[in-house]
Amino acid sequence: MAILGKITHVTTYRYAKPVTFGTHRAMFLPRRGASARLLGWSARTSVPSKIHWISDPRSNTVTVMEFSEAGNELTFTFEVQGVYFGVKGIEAFPLEPRADEIPVQYTPDEWTDLAGYLRPHTEDPDASVAAWTKRFVARDQDQTIDVLRRMLNTFHDGFNYCAREAEGTQSPGETLRTKSGTCRDYAWLMIEALRRLGIASRFVSGYLYDAALDGGAVGTTGAGATHAWLQVFLPGAGWLDYDPTNQITAGFNLIPVAVARHPAQAIPLEGSWFGEAKDYLGMTVDVAVNKIGEIPDLSEVKD
């Protein structure tokens, strides 16, 4: 079965008086592939702009917007309609024997292709991240899927999700020290931990479908804004999604937009403006991911 969905992403910046704007870049189009088919999309700005699309080195689609007029409010409205295919779980993707235990045995070609996702990106000056990571493989606990599940459980049971207004992503060490953070912080800590275990991992920015918005009983954490999680590469299965914020590993909930070696390469919206710092009044973000309908599995259709 697949679902027909609609994503609406609205970001508004407000200023005390008209300011001018530099080039802005946005990542809002879901990645095409086996799990998604895009049917239509649009990008609009309240201040007139020239819009074009480019592809970055990681095959993410980037919307580039150039402005020639000033304004005291700038709103970006992005809309997408698409078909999203759910995945029933890890059992649908049996791992090759060389991926069953840590360390995962990658082939020379895989090492070459995955090198950027295997090397840790951040410093670990007090070795706290390394020490935390070792806990998950102590006492011969080296089954790959079990390690991943234990990490997800640790975030769920031992960390406190805490949204914040400050931009950017915390260092893995800070997230570990405070046992709190946003979805981006959780994903980044888990990525850097897995890389220290020799598992290729990459950062993912995208959208989270919350069934509660369509009458479902259980809500998810992080809906109503862009979401972040990670993917790991395991031979036999390929890139698999892991969301430490919600313990999600499969299904319709995660809609990837951008993949990256580190969070700074997957910023949903960035740009510049020119004026006095005191003129900036703040921003609001409103993201809605809704199900429009369902498309039955053809294998289930009977004469």
Q: What is the pLDDT tens value at each position of the chain, 303 positions in all?
A: 678 899 999 999 999 999 999 999 999 999 887 678 899 999 999 999 999 999 999 999 999 999 999 999 999 999 999 988 765 554 456 899 999 999 999 999 999 999 999 999 999 999 999 999 999 998 888 999 999 999 999 999 999 998 876 678 999 999 999 999 999 999 999 999 999 999 999 999 999 887 765 555 455 655 556 899 999 999 999 999 999 999 888 766 889 999 999 999 999 999 999 999 999 999 999 999 988 888 776 555 444
280, 286, 288: which is closest to 13 by C-alpha? 280
Q: Does the global pTM surpass 0.85?
A: yes
The structural domains of the chain, with segments of one domain joined by +, span 2-85+267-297, 90-265
Contact criterion met (CB below 8 Å) for 209 and 5: yes
CATH of domain 2-85+267-297: 2.60.40.2250
**Of 169, 170, 240, 171, residue with least CA distance to 200:** 240
Are 46 and 75 contacting, i.e. CB atoms less than 8 angstroms apart? yes
Arch. (CATH architecture) of 90-265: Roll (3.10)
CA–CA gap between residue 116 and residue 154 (Å, rounded): 26
Q: Alpha-carbon distance 131 to 83, whole Å?
A: 42
